[in-house]
Amino acid sequence: MKRKPFNTDAYVETIQSSPCFICQLVANHAVNPHHIIYEDEEAIVFLNKYPVLYGYSLVAPKRHKEHVTGDFSREEYLKLQELIYAVAEATRNYVQPERVYILSLGSQQGNSHVHWHIAPLPPGRPFEEQQLNALRFGNGVLELSEAECQELAAGLRQELKQLGFD
């Protein structure tokens, strides 16, 4: 897939100086619209706006929470993990990756709204290009058309429905 360069400095400036992009997305005030895959009262799943891997999505609680465990009751956390599991399975089924990475990234200094990254590693990638290296913006981001993003979101949505999330 074709890649385009990514301006990491501009991205860092934006996430550190702008309102929470997830809260903006949930409130339908997003400056950059995202392709939503799934949404219920508690959570939202959407394609990563800057994908380094095909099928890369984010899962987040709708309420602004900043700590991956501390801001959740055990029940809330486990319910969200069920959705994360389903998104990873939907991704595995639809994209057919070698492996699905699940990470919670972010910082109190930028992207503080807790979220999980579901990042599918394409099969056949040399070991040196896997794991953290596969997630680097320095490799550029995928250049996907609007139609490709819509098709990907629809495919993942269909897989999620088959897993009981509709």
Domains and CATH numbers, the chain: 3-162 (3.30.428.10)
Give CA separation, 81 vs 14, 48, 77, in Å. Answer: 29, 19, 6
Pick from 131, 111, 100: which is nearest to 49 by CA? 111
Give pLDDT, residue 32: 66
pTM of the complete model beyond 0.85:
yes
The answer to whether 166 touches 160, Cβ cutoff 8 Å, is yes
How many Å apart are CA 12 and CA 28, to the nearest integer? 22
Other beta carbons within 10 Å of 49:
17
Give pLDDT, residue 166: 85
Q: Residues 6 or more apart from 131 whose CB is under 8 A from it? A: 101
Task: Read off the pLDDT of residues 120-157 as tens digits, 9 standing for 90 and up.
Answer: 999 999 999 999 999 999 999 999 999 999 999 999 99
Low-confidence ranges of the chain (pLDDT < 70): 30-32
Give pLDDT, residue 31: 67
Per the structure block, which two tokens stand in for 162? 């088959």
